[in-house]
Amino acid sequence: MTRHGSSLLEARELTRYLPGARRDAASPIVDALSLSLQSGDVLGLLGLNGAGKSTTLRMLAGCLTPHAGSVHVAGHSMSDEPAAARAALGYLADRPPLYDDMRVEPYLRFTAALRNMPRRDINHAVQAVIEECQLADIARRRNGRLSKGQRQRVGIAQAIIHRPSVVLLDEPGSGLDPQQQDELRQLIRRLGHDRTVVFSTHVLSEVQACCTRIAVIHGGRLMAEHDLLAEPSARDELADLFHQIVSESASSAPAIDKNAA
């Protein structure tokens, strides 16, 4: 499963317990989860609410420290080289971190400055993400007056403004109407052309629409992983696989597909 020397995002045996839990008595909320992804991989992290998806993404993003395991982003250790690792990734939490009283374009300039981008590069970076995320028609609007789908696109724009190699999105399609979902899926596919993208979801159709890889997480454990380009039939069989996994006891042994490594 590990692709030594070529992975843009690599997680090894990530484990996290609830705060204050006795590790000798409690089950981890993420249990020895490992992933290895390259440029061009769009991974859908699929699982029910409470499966451990958000906790996994927060550890990958460096927002939570794992109790065990490691994360490397573009070859940089999140524990030993946190600044370099975080510089190589963009992260959108389940709630876009927007200031409602700011207009979209000034907000993006602000986030570029927070990323310590040189002044001479900020204008080009802002215009580039406005085009990539199709924000030109709302660039002068206040964030507080945007629709849910527009807020998600602005949230993604702030996550990629520094051109990261890895993009992490926590349930970006939650609460969107069908047209907004389609626009988001198109954007995720575009992001995946030259980056590694990981997004969490509990919606099967989102994974089927825009992913090259899927990972099913249940009870904090990685239960299956498939390369949808190498195994195109897995896309059509995903619903049966998912329902089979979630119907089993959370204490059953993980059934990781080694052929997807």
What is the rounded (10 degree) CA torsion for 139, 173, 6, 223? Answer: 170
User: What's the burial of 114, exposed, middle or buried (CB within 10 Å: 0-12/13-18/19+)?
Assistant: exposed
What domains are there in the chain, each with its CATH number?
9-260 (3.40.50.300)
25: pLDDT confidence band, cut at 50, 70 and 90? low
Q: What is the pTM of this model?
A: 0.87
Q: What does the pLDDT look like over 127-172, one tens digit per residue?
A: 999 999 999 999 999 999 999 999 999 999 999 999 999 999 999 9
Phi, then psi, of 16 in degrees rounded to 5: -145, 135
Q: What does the pLDDT look like over 169-180, one tens digit per residue?
A: 999 988 888 888
